[in-house]
Structure 1
């Protein structure tokens, strides 16, 4: 999965959409959305057909799309519409509660994917820290040590530890925002 919120412009080359790169980057994402959206009712071939149709629809509409369109959101929307169309065409009947359960599962999947991407950004940020900063962060957030305990270990003032932790949080926030996870001003 991608680490940042990508837009259509990221996949343009000489004013043409790089469908190979898009397909390679987002096939798995679209496949999971479709697989979770169709439950056990459709065959694997039907799922593959829907996934292919999603990318065909993107290609057909690429000329009219804004370069700033969020690719994940757009592909997810197309996939959900393709699933509905497939159900209509095959006249399959399913209960509203079953459909709602699948929508919840899909939204949980999207939430889980976003959380995984955020965790990767945080881990990569932590790798760039000095050893003392990294250890202080781990002690404070994962080992539940107090700033006083951390200061004692490093023979420094509590204020220095607080400033260090503040700078680390600021660095993580900045990298998350670069990755497309803006949290606004706090």
Structure 2
């Protein structure tokens, strides 16, 4: 069934998009909503979902069964597009904060709270940049596990590797992030 869908998408059969939508909408919507979090409105999430379907339609020729399953291809497209939109929304939010911060009259205690929130958002953005610098397949494993909530067994199966291999790579990624965070604090 998936093979037939892929062939129809590659042949640019318009009805294949309807079938793709029926099969993957819930998953793409859920992951987009999770990645965008509180930054994204319902409209942002819907825009992200539309962008994912459009990207799959345009980039179906890049799909290679030897590199992973079609499910993984869809998940990676979703993650990439949702993270890009999240960064765009973060920049917009930061610009809005910067533009309006001079207009706000706040007391000393409130300024500490606001400053903390701004630093938390900056740190969150830096954190995503650090993850994006991971080498493959660590970056993909990390996103699938911690952003898309995949089980380690599912990741190992999708990439045709062992559970312990995936677990070890994720452990090393967490150690690296912890080390970098500790260096920043000092």
Q: TM-score range by the shorter chain?
A: 0.3 to 0.5
TM (normalized to structure 1)? 0.47
Higher relative contact order (CA 8 A, sep 6+): 1
Bigger Rg, structure 1 or 2 = 1
TM (normalized to structure 2)? 0.47
